[in-house]
Amino acid sequence: MPIVPPFRPGERVALRPPQEIIATLDAAATFEGVPFMPEMLQYYGRAFTVAARVEKICDTICPVGSRRMGNAVFLEDLRCDGAAHGGCQAECRIYFKEAWLMRVPPGTRPAPPEELPLAALTRLANTHVRQGDPSLFRCQATEARRATTPLPTYDVRQYAREVQSGNVPLGRMLRLSLRIVWWELRSLARRPAGHLPRVRRMFGQPAPLGLKPGEWVEVRSAAEIARTLDRRNMNRGLYFSAPEMMPACGKRFRVRRRVTRIIDEPTGRMLTLKNDCIVLDGPLCDGERSIGRWFCSRQIYPYWREAWLMRAEAPTQPANEDRPAA
């Protein structure tokens, strides 16, 4: 296994030759619990910029906090396209273990991989897309708990690592620290911040919009959205995560896609969504508002019901697609 000095945000890297990656993988095509997926093979022959070190991730299988992952990075906004996983549309950000990467000098282009080793890596990665049961998938998201360790919210070393790694500028850390303390205190007092207005019952659903990719929408107000939710903050089973999603209220975004199928991370089973589910270009979970999961850099796309949106004209000013800085 190659010894790689830690990468930092801003460095230029590329995938190592296939034979070197194969040497890091176990019989299940994983390294330190993280699978090397077929969707990653398309990135051979190209260089990318390190966006962030994966110091921690939010736990989306048993969502009670964060988990520690080591020796991995995110490259730009590279996301899984689901091509080898039944067309899953979750668009999860891909974990790249540092042992799979090499630095690339400025102004140079990585050499294309040799054909035979690439074919061997392709076979190995494709062999382990399923969990043995043909109906169950296996990917980096389904294996996340096995590739990480629990991380207590109040372990202050995790926040120091975010600064030391270059993920979070010191100014941002200091600014958000005040919010973190305030929100955590409110949580302990059972008065969560960023909550929706209370409503006594769920009102009727607005008429379906039939939104298509590329259309512009405006996110409805918090009060309008609250009227579509039950007492669990759900609309036909889809949870409205108020702290992360409410900042988008009143803003305009372009529809990125309609989501109809995603892999259920706890089980690996493909889910076919029966009701409308929309992803917008711009809004991402930025790790700044989720209690217990501060500074997670997964940048997950929230899912929206059409009932929470309304059609809008394209903005005359630049779109508020303010993605968080890596």
pLDDT of the residue at 323:
46
Residue for token digits 């512009």?
216
Q: If residue 75 lies in a helix (H) or strand (E), which one and from where to where?
A: strand 72-75
Dist CA 202 CA 226 (whole Å): 8
Average pLDDT in the chain: 89
- CA separation for the pair 88, 91 (Å, rounded): 8
The single-letter code of the amino acid at 203 is F
Angle at 150 between CA 149 and CA 153, to 5 degrees: 140
The predicted structure's pLDDT at residue 134 = 87
Q: What is the pLDDT of residue 78?
A: 98
Cα(285)–Cα(323) distance, rounded to whole angstroms?
A: 9
Q: Tokens for 199?
A: 């409503």
Give the CA angle between residues 224, 227, 230 to the nearest 5°. 140
Residue type, 38: P
Residues forming a β-bridge with 97:
72
Across 129-209, where does the E strand assignment appear? 149-151
Work out the average pLDDT over 14-18: 98
Distances (CA, A) of 32 to 59, 120, 237: 17, 20, 34
- Among 15-19, 61-65, 160-164, the range scoring the smallest mean pLDDT is 61-65
Structure tokens at 163: 């600064």
Nearest CA to 96 among 79, 114, 113?
79
Q: Over the stretch 113-165, which tens digit does the pLDDT of each residue have?
A: 999 999 999 999 999 999 988 889 999 999 999 999 999 878 889 888 999 99
pLDDT tier at 42 (50, 70, 90 boundaries)? very high
Smallest CA-to-CA distance from 299 within 67, 64, 57 is with 57
Task: Provide the pLDDT confidence category of residue 95 given band limits of 50, 70 and 90.
Answer: very high
Q: Where are the domains of the chain?
A: 12-151, 216-311
Average pLDDT over residues 9-18: 97
